[in-house]
Structure 1
Amino acid sequence: MQRSGYTVTSTTVTSTVIPIPQHIEVGRIIGREGRNLKPIREKTGTLISVNTNTKPPQIEIKYNTSSPPSNEQINEAKNLLNNLIEKVDKERKKRPWNKRENFK
């Protein structure tokens, strides 16, 4: 029996979590087909996931690296996501009539 060789690369996962305010619709953060999150992922090289099973829902940002962890990418993604949340909140406030808020 012949065994093939393999390489093990040690990786470090750095992550942070951003809670999504309850009055913000998660779908508006994600965007159709992920169009709001994809550019942030691509620009920062991070993995971004949304967990709707928590209260409030959360955005988790992860960065995998084989070198010592750098928080630069995480911090940039966090800033961009916080800006996105603020933008979505402002757009929500501009809507003259919000079905969810009126039927609660």
Structure 2
Amino acid sequence: MKNKRNLITAVALTSLMSAGLATNLHAEQLKIPVGSQADRSQASLPTTGMTQTSVRNRWGAPQDIHGPVGEPPISQWHYSDFIVYFEHDRVLHTVVKRNR
């Protein structure tokens, strides 16, 4: 799939260049620093597949809850050091908050 996409891009670019429409093409490299996060291996975090009940029993009530929104329903539970994303009532992903 990636090779097909690269071929299509190359053909489109070649077509534009031959038509004189892409003579001033250039690319910029953006450097974005990675945020400082805690070492995930040292942190106690909810893991994928845990239920909302087990997260609440282990880490207590969240400071804030957003959602659910969309289909499937996705909600966020905000704790002081991390955010837990749920699909229905199961942990989808946990994100460590950036150190300030």
With normalisation by structure 2, the TM-score equals 0.28
> Normalising by the residue count of structure 1, what TM-score does the alignment of the two structures yield?
0.28
More helix by share: 1
Structure with max Cα Rg: 2
More contact order relative to length (CA 8 Å, sep ≥ 6): 1
